Amino acid sequence: MLEKSITIMTVFCLGLGITELGAAELPDRDGTVSIETQEWPFEPGPRSVKVYIYYPGNSLANVTAETGLMLNLHNWGGTNTSGAGNPAVLTKELNVIAISVDYLQSGAWKAESATGAPYDFGYLQAIDALRALSFVYHALLEKKIPFNSKRIYSTGGSGGGNVTLMCNKFAPNTFTCVIDICGMPRLSDDIAFHLPGGSSLNARYSQDQSSKNYLTPGAQEIRFIGNPEHLKLMKDRGHAAKIIIIHGTGDTTCPYTDAQQMYQNMKTAELDVEAKFVAPADIDNVVFKNIGHSLGDRTQMMLKYGGDYAIPGREKFRLRTSPTDFELKQDVIYPTSDGRYVISYADGKPTVRFESK
């Protein structure tokens, strides 16, 4: 699942120091910052992630009152923008600050590493991405730089599609539109335990309750994007973001049948979702090159299917009407069969915890 990185002809500033929400660390030109994030149980202690910030025209000076924010999230095993969109194109065409994140287990993930940890599968990874979004959001406010907080988006390919969907779940009032390209819809038994005959993905969890890698029922349920009970709770909380799913009908890595189920469950919950399930007739060798996992030009997919909702002036262009979760500062709660997961925004940026029954 390691995909070739998109080559970005952008010169970055030197990496800056670790920060929480300090505006002074927001770079003047395309650059990177390192932000503090939530502790990882497999490696206790302080933890930080690298955040890549891309501005329209490569400069903070080009941000205007109409500029939005967009998470642009890499694939499983990638870093920065690998398997995601080209930020030079996204920032120009959408007038957004594009934010990429080396979330937990970015890079060549190996279970035989020092921690021996299974793949996070969107849980703390979503917290990392939301912390990065919160950093840019609050830094702009602190610097009194006008931007359009009603235009907040997320997109990503493969693992980045999974993290995008988890961000939307963990922050149900924050996004205007999210675009998932061939992301993992759920941590199935097949992927969790690498059962024979299924997906090539192996998240390396254990069914042994005495193992440190044991996958609890709740941990599996929270990672199910199409969880009907959780989708209903999102709707009840006022979730109004446009959800766009782009998935190949021949995808066996992130199985097409799982994407179909997720889409149908979202429709049943009355979320605002549309799907483009790519079939052989769609192959044009420009946007779509195959019906498998890689699909084709993901940047162009983002623009073609998300642009109508994200580009000002278009007929379907929309602005979010609700305050963000960063502003609401309320708990987002998802019950599971063994307890509940609480995403807290008490101090404006998220943390997640499990409370057992």
Distant-in-sequence, close-in-space partners of 201: CB < 8 Å, separation ≥ 6: 1, 76, 184, 191, 194, 253, 254
Listed residue (110, 93, 90) closest to 181, CA to CA: 90
Q: Band of the pLDDT at 4, cuts 50, 70, 90? A: very low
Distant-in-sequence, close-in-space partners of 19: CB < 8 Å, separation ≥ 6: 25, 33, 34, 35, 36, 135
Q: End-to-end CA distance of the chain, in Å?
A: 37
CB 56 within 8 A of CB 92: yes
**Mean pLDDT score, 280-293:** 97
- The better pLDDT of the pair 94, 1 is held by 94
- Cβ neighbours of 321 (radius 10 Å): 10
Provide the pLDDT for residue 210: 96
Provide the pLDDT for residue 348: 87
List of domains in the chain? 18-356 (3.40.50.1820)
Q: Band of the pLDDT at 188, cuts 50, 70, 90? A: very high
The amino acid sitting at 234 is: M
**Mean pLDDT score, 154-182:** 98
Q: Would you say residue 10 has pLDDT above 60? A: no
Provide the pLDDT for residue 108: 74
Q: Would you say residue 12 has pLDDT above 70? A: no
DSSP 173-209: TT-SEEEEES------HHHHHT-TTS-S-----BS-T
**Mean pLDDT score, 223-242:** 97
CA–CA dist 338, 354 (Å, integer): 10
pTM of the model: 0.92
Provide the pLDDT for residue 18: 41
Q: Would you say residue 33 has pLDDT above 70? A: yes
Helix (H, G, I), strand (E, B) or coil at 265: helix
Q: Band of the pLDDT at 109, cuts 50, 70, 90? A: low
The pLDDT mean for the chain works out to: 92
Q: Would you say residue 135 has pLDDT above 50? A: yes
